[in-house]
Chains A and B, each alone.
Chain A
């Protein structure tokens, strides 16, 4: 028997056996484009700034805030307990380890919705579940939580409730002093009838 044949046979067998251990790129876990499109249309990925504030105040352990702005902006101002993962460094294995933990809600925060939405689409494409976007981003956070606007006097009860929550949250996050309710400032003015020196009437 020819020795070359035996060697070639063995080489071919080893090479073919090696293919079993090759990781094919096609097997990447990716979401179906149609499902992705449906999820992009739906607003269920949004959480409001009020919900985020409530979870932070309560110390909800399932909340994972991820700030997608660059590092400089993150240093300037960031939400408490948030982690900085800039949009372009999502794919670092270290950063990906924050995602896909069962039972946690990952909320992306940026200046507005745009970058956070991009991040959300990226994570969806990678097949992660339980990712959300903070609606309006930090701009909305400033308007609603840090400097809440007092609703007009004839606003609905729900609006008044929201406002009082936001005032409380403002105190929590900024340390603003409690304002006494406006109702207490109203001076009760008692109008006394002036005394007239002149006897009225009489004849």
Chain B
């Protein structure tokens, strides 16, 4: 049956409408999960709050395992799903920059907007910085254009690269995620014990 738009079950023009609806739902869930607070987000790096890890890992493993069952039941054709092309070097560098920005600013791009939505000043400055950064990157793009396009592996999955079936990765990720949930719970408890004040 699925994916719905490529299979013509939903017309082509509806993708933006669906994107807005999913975007609203995504923002709502982010806010509800407490992601509009930069202390919550940065807490991962200092060890007193792992809600980010828990929420994102839960979403990841539920979606991952769910998609595999959908494929098995014939509701979704996995071979028709768009896979983001992999650029190994640029993605590692981009991830490092993103991580630094996350600790420094206390937000990632998506969560900064939920922060703006509930009127947080730090989130507002973060988003201003975000646009300045995008503008600067665009102007300086010719300087790192070569690096930006280097190391392309195409639209590959881990299964394509390693030949190991996707279900093994799914199981491994799930075990790692669940172990992280329980592990971080203990870390949180120990770190919070030594904190004098803890406010979100």
Is B72's CB under 8 angstroms from A24's CB? yes
Chain A residues touching B, range: 10 to 19
Chain B residues touching A, range: 20 to 34
Chain B, residues 158-196, CB within 8 Å of chain A (1/0): the string is 000000011110110111001001100000000000000
- Cβ distance A15 to chain B, nearest Cβ, rounded Å: 5
Is A25's CB under 8 angstroms from B175's CB? no
The reply to whether the CB of A197 lies closer than 8 angstroms to some CB of chain B is no
Is B181's CB under 8 angstroms from A16's CB? no
> How far apart are the CA atoms of A22 and B66 in the complex, in Å?
12
Residues of A within 8 A of B72 (CB): 22-24
Q: Total number of A-B contacts with CB less than 8 angstroms?
A: 50
Q: Taking CB as reference atom, which chain B residue is nearest A2?
A: B185
Residues of A within 8 A of B182 (CB): 9
Residues of B within 8 A of A13 (CB): 174-175, 178
The reply to whether the CB of B116 lies closer than 8 angstroms to some CB of chain A is no
Contact of A9 among B78, B165, B167, B178 (CB under 8 A): B178
Residues of A bordering B, CB below 8 Å: 5, 9, 12-13, 15-20, 22-27
Known: A19-B167, A19-B171. 10 other contacts (CB 8 A): A9-B178, A12-B65, A12-B174, A13-B175, A15-B174, A17-B171, A19-B69, A19-B170, A22-B69, A27-B165
8 pairs of A and B residues whose beta carbons are closest in the complex: A16-B174, A19-B167, A22-B72, A19-B68, A16-B171, A20-B167, A19-B170, A15-B65
What are 14 A-B residue pairs whose CB atoms fall within 8 Å in the complex? A9-B178, A9-B181, A13-B175, A15-B65, A16-B65, A16-B171, A16-B174, A17-B171, A19-B68, A19-B167, A22-B167, A24-B71, A24-B165, A27-B165
